[in-house]
Structure 1
Amino acid sequence: MTAKRVMKILRLVGAGLFLTAALYFLYRVRTVLTPFFLAAFLAYLLKPAMVKLEKRGLKRPAAILLLYFLVFILFLPVPLFILPKLVRELNEFLLHLPIFTTEVEGLLGKFYQRYNEVALPAGLRRLLDDSFIGLSNTFQQAARRALQGLLNLLAGAPSFLLAPVLTYYLLRDSEQIGRAAGHLLPLQIKEDVFGLWTEIDRILTSFIRGHLLVSLIVGFLTGIGLALIGSRYAVILAVVVGLADLIPYFGPIIGAVPVLTLTLLEGKRTALYALFVMAVVQQIEGSWLAPRILSGSVGLHPLAVIFVLLAGGELWGVGGLLLAVPLTAIGSTVIKFIWARLVSS
């Protein structure tokens, strides 16, 4: 074995050891990385607008500060009006949770009585009986997990306060950071890696930026509609519907279930109005918002999308549902890239 080959192997082994140590270090300090991840996400969302402002003659720091000011004005109602109302609705929901549980059990009891009057095969009846057992406990646990998630979100306020500062530096020095990352790549693969990133960026632009904006508008319209019909939990349900709308195919159904459940407990008429609101919002999304905002598909077959959604939900719950499609699309792009290079080499 030649000395040159030995040195190449040693460099590869050293790079592998360095990468392993770096990943282990990041794993050990993962709790402090939240503001950095959030800052990177915000920088990715804001960079196109910053580039447009630069093309209009603004210096980059001024463009970033102008963007911050516009975002601040746009989201000013959140801490002034929406957040206090959200906290009040959470407290009211916690106080009424035992009553809601009793009412849900009553509704299930009536349904169970009618279900018992239907002649069913013994095996199917046993299966349905097992499904009914503990359903109310499942409802309580799901509600408490959702509330705990919202409270944890509020508890992460320090990360949200630090993220804009980090975002500023990421936006201001984005080219320098990109060049520094490019210098770490061997010349032989640099062009291929940049081409791969361009394709990944297209997927992220289509899915994250587009779907995030659509979901934000859907949640806002749902909250306005539920507030107009007099629902006591308009803000909570708007947040739930907006988050659920990020999930392809199943999102509208997942968001409709808590809306109809809570509004039905407020009254049948309220539930009927809520159903009308959901139908109108979904019609607006399907016929107007999605065609104008979403720039394209992620390149996955609908069957593949449904499969990865089910698999992601099974493995990682709500987080899996939200991340399954973009991660699968990115993974598919990387695999196709590697396969094409292996075949062509």
Structure 2
Amino acid sequence: MDVEHRNMTPPKFTPNDLEEPRLGPFETLLLGGGLALFLALLYEMREFLSPPLIAIAATILLWPLRRYRSVRALLLSGGFLLLFWLLSQLRVVLIPFVVAYLLAYLSNPLVDLLERRLHVPRWVSALTVTVLVVGALAAILLLLIPTIVGQLVELIRQMLNSVGELRRWLYENPLLDRLEEVLPIDRQALIQQFTTFLQQQLNALTQSLPDALATVAQSIGSLLGALTVLAILPMLIFYTLKDYPKLRDALIGLFPKHNGRRDYLMYAGTVVGNYLRGQLLISLIAAFNVSVALLIFDVPFGLLIGLLAGLLNLIPNLGAVLTNIIALLIALLFGDPPLLDAVIVTGVLLGQGLLEASVLSPHILSHQVGLHPVLILLSLFVFGYFLGAFGLLIAVPTTAILVGFYQSYREAREKLAGATTPESTDVTE
């Protein structure tokens, strides 16, 4: 009985028994030869290879070694790069879906209001909001875009014609005479360089507009592709609004947890959503007010100045300064009379600024991001340097989210430090 019991006892393994056997000289030689042949195969297939094929081959090679932390980090970084490559390749296909989700994200509070307050079914409220959004977009495309493009083309044409007049005005300006007396400058060379620079910039602008339109047309593919996108966009907005809570929860589930929770994502969504909705509404009001006021006073390019005021209003602090500078230059160059139009433009923009500061921002933009003005300006310059115009639009909400993450992390660290520090009573004991 004891002998049978001893025979049934499972054998004991040591950690060395679980390790893979070491390769001998012959096996090492075979492994090196196989690696050389694999590299030769990659070289011969260099025209056929693509990032997905390379990622699959790398995964097959590294997967048996995934127990090592460095290998897991390499697989994760490779997957991250492959994901961004796929997004860049599919950006044209994903544009309608991104636009639909963004519009649904911005208009979802209205759907929730109709559903919860008025007890309207979700699909009915989603359909109603979709009709409103699509109608507004159609009105902008059909009514405003042709007029704005026409004014922009006329502005560029007049600026090209005014370069010669500007050159003559500079030659006759007594201010340069006084400047020559103080500084050792060549007046003719300075005027020549300045007018050449303006001519180059205007020529580049006139050439960039057709190139931009051609790029958009090529990215869409054809007129049929554009019509297809316009046709499916309302359907995408409706279904995204209808199932927005499910889609939002699914996207949140893709992100990692922080301290076992994903509250930081809800905070980020609240900050970005409130800020963007408030800023967009204030920008629309500013564009409408400035455009109507300048059209009433018959200021040249009034609609273009109003659109500029609305777009630049999305950039805090810096946008108002840029709007005033550009609007005053347009009024002084093309106004009739220039000084009167400049005074009108200044008064309209000043009135809009006072209305925004005293009425619109306190009531519409009730959820402030809580950032210091110096930090806001710093974020605008940094994001604008790296991402251009798009960086200026996302600088403030992104900075607010980063500050919120840092505050959440600091609070969690302080709580952890307070929990691990022994109390005074424990020390005395």
**TM-score calculated relative to the size of structure 1:** 0.81
Give the alignment partner of residue 349 of structure 2, picking from 278, 290, 299.
278
Give the alignment partner of residue 176 of structure 1, picking from 246, 250, 253.
246
**Post-superposition, which runs of at least 4 consecutive aligned residues in structure 1 deviate over 6 A?**
10-13, 123-126
Give the alignment partner of residue 360 of structure 2, picking from 283, 289, 297.
289
Aligned to 1:102: 164
Deviation at 1:35, TM superposition (A): 2.0
Higher helix share: 1
Aligned to 1:165: 235
Output the amino acid matched with 1:69: V
Deviation at 1:275, TM superposition (A): 1.9
1:84 aligns with 2:154: no
Aligned to 1:192: 261
Aligned to 1:23: 84
Task: Tell me which moved more, 12-21 or 217-226.
Answer: 12-21
Are residues 278 and 181 of structure 1, via their aligned partners in 2, closer, same or farther at CA, if it must alter by over 3 Å?
closer
Distance in 1 (alpha carbons) for counterparts of 2:238 and 2:259: 27
Larger relative contact order, structure 1 or 2 (CA cutoff 8 Å, min sep 6): 1
Give the alignment partner of residue 318 of structure 1, picking from 379, 382, 389.
389
Distance in 2 (alpha carbons) for counterparts of 1:42 and 1:228: 32
Output the amino acid matched with 1:316: L
1:67 aligns with 2:129: yes
Distance in 2 (alpha carbons) for counterparts of 1:149 and 1:115: 38
Are residues 199 and 170 of structure 1, via their aligned partners in 2, closer, same or farther at CA, if it must alter by over 3 Å?
same
Deviation at 1:206, TM superposition (A): 3.3
Distance in 2 (alpha carbons) for counterparts of 1:150 and 1:288: 38
Aligned to 2:375: 304
C-alpha deviations, 1:231-288, integer Å up to 9, x for none?
Answer: 3422222221111111111111111222222222222122222222212212211221
Matches within 5 A, 1:197-216: 197-216=265-284
Task: Tell me which moved more, 303-312 or 160-169.
Answer: 160-169
CA-based RMSD of the aligned residues comes to 3.7
Are residues 153 and 44 of structure 1, via their aligned partners in 2, closer, same or farther at CA, if it must alter by over 3 Å?
farther
Are residues 142 and 213 of structure 1, via their aligned partners in 2, closer, same or farther at CA, if it must alter by over 3 Å?
farther
SS of the aligned residue for 2:367 comes to: coil
Deviation at 1:99, TM superposition (A): 1.4
Output the amino acid matched with 1:31: V
Q: Is the contact between residue 294 and residue 348 of structure 2 (CA under 8 Å) also seen in structure 1?
A: yes
Deviation at 1:42, TM superposition (A): 0.5
Matches within 5 A, 1:127-138: 133=194, 134-137=196-199
Aligned to 1:248: 316
Distance in 2 (alpha carbons) for counterparts of 1:291 and 1:330: 21
Deviation at 1:213, TM superposition (A): 0.8
Q: How many residues align?
A: 338
Deviation at 1:227, TM superposition (A): 0.9
Task: Tell me which moved more, 172-181 or 246-255.
Answer: 172-181
Output the amino acid matched with 2:398: L
Distance in 1 (alpha carbons) for counterparts of 2:282 and 2:235: 27
Output the amino acid matched with 1:302: P
Distance in 2 (alpha carbons) for counterparts of 1:68 and 1:204: 21
Q: Is the contact between residue 312 and residue 321 of structure 1 (CA under 8 Å) also seen in structure 2?
A: yes
Deviation at 1:198, TM superposition (A): 2.0
Q: Is the contact between residue 104 and residue 240 of structure 2 (CA under 8 Å) also seen in structure 1?
A: yes
Distance in 1 (alpha carbons) for counterparts of 2:242 and 2:127: 11
Q: Tell me which structure has the larger Cα radius of gyration.
A: 2
Output the amino acid matched with 1:241: A
Are residues 50 and 103 of structure 1, via their aligned partners in 2, closer, same or farther at CA, if it must alter by over 3 Å?
farther
1:235 aligns with 2:303: yes
Distance in 2 (alpha carbons) for counterparts of 1:315 and 1:75: 30
| Identity over aligned pairs, percent | 25
Q: Which runs of 5+ in 2 are unaligned?
A: 1-14, 20-65, 221-225, 417-429
C-alpha deviations, 1:14-66, integer Å up to 9, x for none?
Answer: 65554443233212222332222222210111100000111112111211111
Distance in 2 (alpha carbons) for counterparts of 1:328 and 1:142: 33
